[in-house]
Amino acid sequence: MLKDKCLTRKKSEVLDEIFLQEFGKKLEEMLHEIKSEPVAAAIAEACHSLFPLIKGHTTTKIYSDFGIFWRKLTSDSQLRWIGPEKGVMHLATAAIVNALLDLWARIEDKSVWKLLVDMTPDELVSTMDFRYI
């Protein structure tokens, strides 16, 4: 009977072995070398670069079709090449969307989870972008 040895090992052991072979270090050692300050600065700059796409919009307009607003943030032709839905631009977009959801909940005097739970199905669907489904 054949038995896959990979199934008897912990995932962390396999990852450590792969990273040691490929990079000469364990994954944990590599992650310690990533400095958070440059990443945070890049995300802040990316948020700033998205500001022209938000400027002039009222919260009412944004909240009336949040999915379209998301698509607008991720579809700008000058920013798409940076990675509209991955990397720094994705984190910046998420920061803006999370802040807007928090603001929306505060306007409604609710927590974010309560805001979402209280939405009608149509309202909830309008907050999402289904283009990849």
Taking only the tens place, the pLDDT of each residue in 5-16 is 555 656 667 767
pLDDT in the model for residue 32:
67
Question: With contact defined as beta carbons under 8 Å apart, do 26 and 16 qualify?
Answer: yes
Which residue from 82, 20, 10 is spatially nearest to 47, judged by alpha carbons?
82
The model's pTM: 0.62
Q: What is the pLDDT of residues 72-101, one digit of tens each?
A: 888 777 776 665 556 777 788 888 888 888
Ordered by where they begin, the domains of the chain are 12-127 (3.30.390.10)
Return d(Cα 49, Cα 56) in angstroms, integer: 15
pLDDT at 114 over 80: yes
Return d(Cα 56, Cα 45) in angstroms, integer: 20
pLDDT at 103 over 80: yes
